[in-house]
Amino acid sequence: MSAEDLAFRNEVRAFLAEKLTPEMRAASARQAGVFADAGLNRVWHRILHERGWIAPSWPAEYGGPGWTPTQRHIFADECARSQAPVIPAMGLQMCGPVLMTYGTPQQKAFFLPRMLSGEHYWCQGFSEPGSGSDLASLQTRAVRDGDDYVVNGSKIWTTHAQFANWMFLLVRTATEGKPQAGISFLLTPMDAPGVTVRPIISMSGEHEVNQVFFDDVRIPVANRVGQENQGWTVAKALLVFERGGGVAASRLTRQVNDARRVAQQPDATGSSLWDSCPEFRRRLLEVEMQVKALDFKERQVAAMLSAGQDIGDGAASVLKMTVSRLGQLATELATEALGIDAWADPRGPLDGGENDAWADHAATLTAKYLNNRAATIFGGSQEVQHNIVAKAVLGL
Ligand SMILES: Cc1cc2nc3c(=O)[nH]c(=O)nc-3n(C[C@H](O)[C@H](O)[C@H](O)COP(=O)(O)OP(=O)(O)OC[C@H]3O[C@@H](n4cnc5c(N)ncnc54)[C@H](O)[C@@H]3O)c2cc1C
């Protein structure tokens, strides 16, 4: 890191130390889902917004801090290290950049400041019951009627639709020709008449995703982003933002350390899994080494982006696969280390943990373990990423 980068890191550290209360860190540590829930998010969003740091990747002209990719990496890294709540990506990281490129001046002027302030909370309406990996087969229909589209159909797995007041969605506006050529990209308020949100409770017991129904919902044509039937181009740009370069190594390091801490805790006889099971130690250290390699790669990617180089589809897919799989392995190890007696609270308080009881810790870890199964599905499944690498890297 350059002297400027080190000074920037110190500034970020000082800010986080001042603003992130122990209660917020603890609440964030207990969060099993991908993003902070609405209450925690609201508080942290406001603090970052006041500091001008809520949209690290936005250019200064739209209200971003104008950071270099290296500064963005440092910021994300420090946030992950200090267990800052994870701000939902749907608005600031997905819809915002898309509007900057494809939105009309009116759309930019209306939506971007409200995204920054947190007044608008977004969800993503792409997947449908019959269309996930094969997204272009989507069936939610939009029929033009005067200055509106009338929309009928259903979206599924919609993260945080229960909190969102706006959704960006893909709809079918033409049925002839290639499926990709008949899709449009719309923006709708969630309180429009005819929108119904039905919760889907995941196996960890959480309410993170939903099914959303559209019954004769009127969406103004003015809320279309890009030309009619050209929504696929807009959607592809958005998916690049969804998949592209994050910072996961710090979060994963913490998860591996969690697993080690649990494994090192002695039981009633004074023995611990860490001492008694070399095979467990070997597996944990292997994951730890892979996380260190990922950390190096993520820094390299930040440096490449800073130098204006493109990392390419293949690299983004490899990173996505690596991050999802390592996250699953880390929570597998942590859950295994807990053992079946964790629920009976036999080992007393857990030293240095955010949660003071094993049962509490076990509940959080188990929820994280279960939730993490979805990491190799959302944002493009593992198999679909392999297909991308086969094409982009191997030329198959
Ligand atoms: C927790 C969670 C949150 C989500 N949040 C959102 C959201 O906010 N908004 C949204 O729009 N969507 C969201 N999704 C949906 C997600 O994008 C889809 O689940 C994903 O694209 C996979 O689609 P599918 O579930 O229909 O599975 P399918 O596409 O039916 O896939 C089933 C299986 O077949 C495999 N497969 C499919 N095609 C191929 C192929 N060509 N080659 C090899 N194997 C293949 C897949 O890898 C998978 O194993 C979320 C999903 C989850 C689990």
For residue 131, which atom of ligand 1 is closest to its CA? 26
Closest Cα to atom 26 of ligand 1: 132
**The pLDDT value given to residue 364:** 84
How many angstroms is it from 352 CA to the middle of ligand 1?
38
Residue 35: CB atoms within 10 A of its CB come to 18
Label residue 379 by pLDDT band (50, 70, 90): confident
Pocket mutation for ligand 1, best pick of 121, 133, 154, 201 (most atoms within 8 Å of C-beta): 133
Q: What is the mean pLDDT of residues 45-64?
A: 95
Q: How far apart are CA 239 and CA 380, in angstroms?
A: 9
More confident residue, 239 or 104: 104
Q: Is 68 in the pocket of ligand 1 (CB under 6 A)?
A: no
Q: Is 101 in the pocket of ligand 1 (CB under 6 A)?
A: no
Q: What is the pTM of this model?
A: 0.92
Collapsing DSSP to helix, strand or coil, 145 comes out as: strand
Least confident piece of the model among 69-83, 179-193, 249-263, 345-359: 345-359
Q: Is 159 in the pocket of ligand 1 (CB under 6 A)?
A: yes
Indicate the DSSP class of residue 150. E
**The pLDDT value given to residue 308:** 75
Distance of CA 245 to the CA centre of its chain: 11
**The pLDDT value given to residue 345:** 46
Positions marked catalytic: 242
For residue 34, which atom of ligand 1 is closest to its CA? 1
Angle between helices 249-264 and 278-306 (to 10 degrees): 160
pLDDT in tens, 39-53: 999 999 999 999 999
pLDDT in tens, 251-288: 899 889 989 988 998 877 888 899 999 999 999 999 99
Q: How far apart are CA 79 and CA 45, in angstroms?
A: 13
Q: Is 58 in the pocket of ligand 1 (CB under 6 A)?
A: no
pLDDT at 305 over 80: no
For residue 134, which atom of ligand 1 is closest to its CA? 29
How many angstroms is it from 226 CA to the middle of ligand 1?
25
Pocket mutation for ligand 1, best pick of 90, 127, 209 (most atoms within 8 Å of C-beta): 127
pLDDT in tens, 329-363: 999 998 888 875 554 444 444 444 444 566 677 77
For residue 209, which atom of ligand 1 is closest to its CA? 3
Least confident piece of the model among 26-35, 131-140, 332-341, 383-392: 332-341
DSSP string, 245-269: ----HHHHHHHHHHHHHHHHS--TT
Q: 226 is written with which tokens?
A: 């890009």
Closest Cα to atom 13 of ligand 1: 157
Q: What is the mean pLDDT of residues 14-25?
A: 96
How many angstroms is it from 378 CA to the middle of ligand 1?
6
| Percentage of residues of the chain with pLDDT beyond 70 | 93
Pocket mutation for ligand 1, best pick of 135, 243, 381 (most atoms within 8 Å of C-beta): 381
More confident residue, 364 or 220: 220
Q: What is the mean pLDDT of residues 181-199?
A: 98
Alpha helices per DSSP H over the chain: 3-19, 22-30, 38-51, 69-81, 89, 96-102, 105-117, 231-243, 249-264, 273-276, 278-306, 312-338, 358-372, 382-392
Do residues 188 and 167 touch, judged by C-beta distance below 8 A? yes
Q: Is 158 in the pocket of ligand 1 (CB under 6 A)?
A: yes
Angle between helices 278-306 and 312-338 (to 10 degrees): 150
**The pLDDT value given to residue 346:** 46
pLDDT at 313 over 80: no
How many angstroms is it from 154 CA to the middle of ligand 1?
15
**The pLDDT value given to residue 304:** 80
pLDDT in tens, 99-149: 999 999 999 999 999 999 999 999 999 999 999 999 999 999 999 999 999
**The pLDDT value given to residue 243:** 59
Label residue 239 by pLDDT band (50, 70, 90): confident
**The pLDDT value given to residue 352:** 44
Q: What is the mean pLDDT of residues 298-319?
A: 81
Q: How far apart are CA 164 and CA 95, in angstroms?
A: 13
